[in-house]
A and B are shown apart, each in its own frame.
Chain A
Amino acid sequence: MKLGLRRRIVQGTGLLLGLFGITGIGMTHLIFPGLHCYACPLAVTVCPIGLIQNLIVFGTIPFFWMGAIAAYGLLAGRGFCGWFCPFGTLNDLLAFRKVRIRDSFSYVKYVVLLGTLIAAWVFADTMFCKLCPAASLEASIPYLLLGVAKVNRPFWLHMGTLGGTLLGMVLIARFWCRYLCPMGALLSMFNRVSILHLRLSDEKCTHCSACSSRCPMGLTPPLDYDNHNCIKCGECVEACELGALSFHCGIKGKK
């Protein structure tokens, strides 16, 4: 089975898990390994970003959250962004153009993460959730249809951030994941130590740039195969006909 097809199947599984509430199962104890709003009427898992904001507001030391995030990070790092996260999948579906822009802007997502945590503490409220485009799509719109949400200022604020994000996704591949996702920022810290990782065979690589042209994150895989932005989607692995890039599972030491 081709790698791309495998990824679509796993992404579909992530989407199904996100909407598993359709089976009647209520909220579980699981923390979702991606950005998926727990306010979605069909969600059965907690959004890690929403949860940590609530824990900050209530002054809880987040032992369970920290253990879960570290476990996800160690397992696959940002692999969850490329293979599992429903909002990441939406980025893929809307990626009609693969515009390469400066990588330095990708550090903005760390500012968003830090801002989210500080805002929760300062305002004693889940401020990021009030702007989150995933919440707009998965909670605001469904609850408007269900008659709970109203077309008011918070709703328009949500629609504004959703509209801007969707536009960004259309214009730039993986726009949200690259520049703004706080969950991506969290997982990226584990990217270089995760069990699932990419490996480059220097002998096979001819630096033909076939992989770079396919990378949705705008990376140059022969140089950036363990970059904090790599979502391990495997586009580069598929693109390389010489097999210079490959997936590996195991503990990776410093080269």
Chain B
Amino acid sequence: MHRVGLWGFACLILVLIASSLGAQEPILTLDVASDPVQIQAGGRAWVRITIENPSAHEADDVTLSWGGSEVFAWAEEVPAIEVLPPFDTETIDLLLAASAGVEEGVHEEAIEVVYTYCIAELCFQIVEEVAVAVDVTSAVPVEGPTETPPVELPAAAFPWRWVGGGIGMLALLGGIVLRRTSRLTWPANLAILGTIIGGLAYGVLEGQHEQAQGIGAVLCTSCVGIEETRTREPEFSPQGLATLESITEPVELVVFYAPWCHACPYAKELVEQAAESNRWITFSLSDVEQEPAFAEAHGIIRSGRTVVPAILRIDTGAVIFGIENLEIRLLQILQGEA
């Protein structure tokens, strides 16, 4: 009987591993618009890069550095993309400089992309190289800046909050250890009490009590595991697209979401695809935290409990919750069957 605990733990680990299988994600996709890049020896040229995140998870700290030969380099410091949200696309323009002595002709170069991606077994940093051709000529003028000029890098702030959190954690653990190992109780009590009062006070000042309430009030159907988290971008089936085309009357939808809902990007993306494929379908997004009264009026918030993601058809008032069989249910609501 004493092995039951061990077996239970082993099962827990197995289930954790099993549930992580199949959660593999494609990584970011990059596209260099001006390929080959036309540049003059000793001159500069703009390079437009489009980065797409096709997954349901965010990519963090995306940085682009020149990974090719040393005769080329970025003319300005390249800003990092701190967060690339799920299903989002970012376009940036970078100014490439060529040295004066570079040979004319096409050079096969590379841009190095580094980013952090938390998916499947672990959070890992991905380093990739994207091939780019640079055509050096002697007569190409410098292209003007594009619509989205490079943004300035914000000055890195000292991580006071992390230091504060670390000090609080150390004080708490130190206090506990001191109380258990030493007769010197007052410094230990002071450390524990300081952590309690400091943690609660600073947490309230930071609005973390509101954050806790918000997390508790929103039932993200996949967060609590009553629904599967979708890790891939949704795609309408051919039958679904045919049904979408048959809609010939205006339909306005609202997608209700919450910032910490893992299933919401999936619902948002599917509705967006529907709107893109049929001009009669329009939609708007509603953050239930920002617009609680609106959500309450349509039954998304009931008895102080919010269920997201939810999709509302405005003219009929029909609402569908969650992402289980969402394509079928979305088509039903669009056809007025739900």
List the A side residues contacting B5 at CB < 8 Å.
Answer: 101, 105-106, 108, 172, 175, 178-180
Q: Which of B182, B192, B206, B303 contacts A63 (CB 8 A)?
A: B206
Within 8 A of B (CB), among A8-48: 21, 24-29, 31, 37-39, 41, 43-47
Using known A-B contacts A60-B211, A63-B202, determine if residue A105 contacts B20 with beta carbons closer than 8 Å. no
Q: Is the CB of A101 within 8 A of B196?
A: no
> C-beta contact mask, A175-187 vs B, less than 8 Å → 1, else 0?
1001110000000
Using known A-B contacts A45-B216, A193-B176, determine if residue A29 contacts B15 with beta carbons closer than 8 Å. no
Question: Counting CB contacts under 8 A, is A62 at the interface?
Answer: yes
List the B side residues contacting A44 at CB < 8 Å.
Answer: 304
Question: Counting CB contacts under 8 A, is A239 at the interface?
Answer: no
Segment of B72-80, B126-134, B160-168, B242-250 in the binding face = B160-168
Q: Is the CB of B225 within 8 A of A130?
A: yes
Write the chain A residue with the least CB distance to B166.
A61
The docked-state distance in angstroms from the alpha carbon of A168 to that of B206 is: 41
Q: Is the CB of A193 within 8 A of B212?
A: no
Write the chain B residue with the least CB distance to A139.
B224
Q: Which of A50, A55, A66, A101 contacts B168 (CB 8 A)?
A: A66
The docked-state distance in angstroms from the alpha carbon of A155 to that of B165 is: 36
Pick from A57, A67, A127 the residue with the most CB of B within 10 Å: A67
List the A side residues contacting B165 at CB < 8 Å.
Answer: 61-63, 66
CB distance from B28 to the nearest CB of A (A): 15
Within 8 A of B (CB), among A145-186: 148-150, 152-155, 157-158, 160-161, 164, 168, 171-172, 175, 178-180
Q: Which of A122, A148, A179 contacts B122 (CB 8 A)?
A: A122
Q: Is the CB of B199 within 8 A of A105?
A: no
Q: Is the CB of A70 within 8 A of B15?
A: no
Within 8 A of A (CB), among B314-337: 321-322, 324
Main secondary structure, interface of B, reads helix
Pick from A66, A160, A171, A175 the residue with the most CB of B within 10 Å: A66
List the B side residues contacting A180 at CB < 8 Å.
Answer: 5, 8-9, 12
Size category, B interface: 35 or more
Question: Counting CB contacts under 8 A, is B313 at the interface?
Answer: no
Question: Counting CB contacts under 8 A, is B229 at the interface?
Answer: yes
Q: Is the CB of B216 within 8 A of A51?
A: yes
The docked-state distance in angstroms from the alpha carbon of A45 to that of B219 is: 13
The docked-state distance in angstroms from the alpha carbon of A74 to that of B179 is: 11
Segment of B95-103, B106-114, B139-147, B183-191 in the binding face = B183-191
Using known A-B contacts A63-B168, A64-B199, A74-B192, determine if residue A139 contacts B212 with beta carbons closer than 8 Å. no
CB distance from B11 to the nearest CB of A (A): 7
Q: Is the CB of A150 within 8 A of B324?
A: yes
Give me 13 other A-B pairs in contact (C-beta within 8 A), A27-B213, A108-B8, A122-B122 excluded.
Answer: A61-B161, A63-B199, A68-B199, A68-B200, A71-B200, A105-B6, A115-B16, A124-B58, A124-B119, A125-B262, A140-B226, A152-B228, A254-B182
29 sampled A-B residue pairs with Cβ under 8 A = A21-B303, A25-B304, A41-B305, A50-B216, A54-B215, A58-B259, A62-B203, A63-B203, A63-B206, A66-B195, A67-B200, A68-B199, A108-B8, A115-B16, A122-B121, A126-B224, A127-B19, A148-B221, A148-B226, A154-B228, A161-B12, A164-B11, A179-B8, A180-B12, A190-B176, A192-B180, A251-B189, A252-B179, A253-B185
What are the nearest 7 A-B pairs in CB distance?
Answer: A26-B304, A64-B203, A67-B199, A130-B225, A67-B200, A64-B208, A105-B5
Interface residues of B (CB under 8 A from A): 1-2, 4-6, 8-9, 11-13, 15-16, 19-20, 23, 57-58, 118-123, 161-162, 164-165, 168-169, 172, 175-176, 179-183, 185, 188-189, 192-193, 195-204, 206, 208-213, 215-217, 219, 221-229, 259-260, 262, 303-305, 307, 321-322, 324
